[in-house]
Chain A
Amino acid sequence: MKKRAITLTINGEEYSLNVPVHHTLLQVLRDHLNLTDVKYGCGRGECGACTVLLDVGKGKRKPILACIALAATMDGKSITTAAGLSKDGTLHPVQKAFVDESAIQCGFCTPGMVLKSVSILEKNSKPTEEEIRFGLEGNICRCTGYAKIVTAVQAASKKMAAGKR
Chain B
Amino acid sequence: MASSRILPEFELLLPQNIKEAVSALGKLKSKASVMAGGTDVVISCTKGFGSPNVISLAEIPGLDYVVYDSKKGLRIGAMATLQQVADNADVKKRYPALQRACAINGTPQTRNMGTVVGNIMRASPSGDCICAVLAIGGKIVLQGPKGKREVNIDDFYLKYRETACKADELAIEIKLPAISAKNAFARMTRTTLDLSKVNVACSLVMSGKTVKEARVAVGAVAPTTIRLKKVEAILKGSQITDEVLQKVVATVPTEIKPIDDVRSTAEYRRDVAGVMVKRIILEALGK
Residues in chain A within 8 A of chain B (CB atoms): 1-2, 4, 20-24, 26-27, 40, 43-45, 48, 51, 54, 62-65, 67-70, 72-73, 75, 116, 119, 134-135, 137-139
Q: Mark B242-266, 1 if CB is under 8 A from A, else 0.
A: 0000000000000000000000000
Q: Which of B42-50, B94-102, B152-160 contacts A (4 or more CB under 8 A)?
A: B42-50
Chain A residues contacting B58 (CB-CB under 8 Å) are 73
Q: Total A-B pairs in contact (CB under 8 Å)?
A: 99
| Complex contact A45–B43 (CB within 8 A) | yes
Contact for B192 among A40, A43, A137, CB less than 8 A:
A137
| Complex contact B193–A138 (CB within 8 A) | yes
Chain A residues contacting B9 (CB-CB under 8 Å) are 2, 20, 22
A98 to chain B, nearest CB (A): 18
Pairs A-B, 7 closest by C-beta atoms:
A138-B107, A21-B12, A68-B42, A73-B58, A22-B7, A137-B193, A65-B109
Residues in chain B within 8 A of chain A (CB atoms): 3, 5-14, 35, 38-39, 42-43, 45-46, 54, 56, 58-59, 83, 106-110, 112-113, 192-193
Chain A residues contacting B38 (CB-CB under 8 Å) are 68-70, 73
| Complex contact A73–B109 (CB within 8 A) | no
| Complex contact A45–B110 (CB within 8 A) | yes
| Complex contact B11–A1 (CB within 8 A) | yes
Chain B residues contacting A23 (CB-CB under 8 Å) are 7
Chain B residues contacting A134 (CB-CB under 8 Å) are 192
| Complex contact A73–B108 (CB within 8 A) | no
For B87, give the chain A residue with the smallest CB separation: A123
Chain A residues contacting B110 (CB-CB under 8 Å) are 45, 65, 68, 138
Q: Is the interface of A mostly helix, strand, loop or mixed?
A: mixed
For B110, give the chain A residue with the smallest CB separation: A45
Known: A22-B8, A72-B12. A119 touches B108 (CB 8 A): yes
| Complex contact B192–A27 (CB within 8 A) | no
Contact for B42 among A48, A62, A69, CB less than 8 A:
A69
Contact for A63 among B6, B7, B59, B108, CB less than 8 A:
B108
B109 to chain A, nearest CB (A): 5
Q: A20 vs B56: C-alpha distance in the bound complex, in angstroms?
A: 15
Chain B residues contacting A48 (CB-CB under 8 Å) are 107, 109
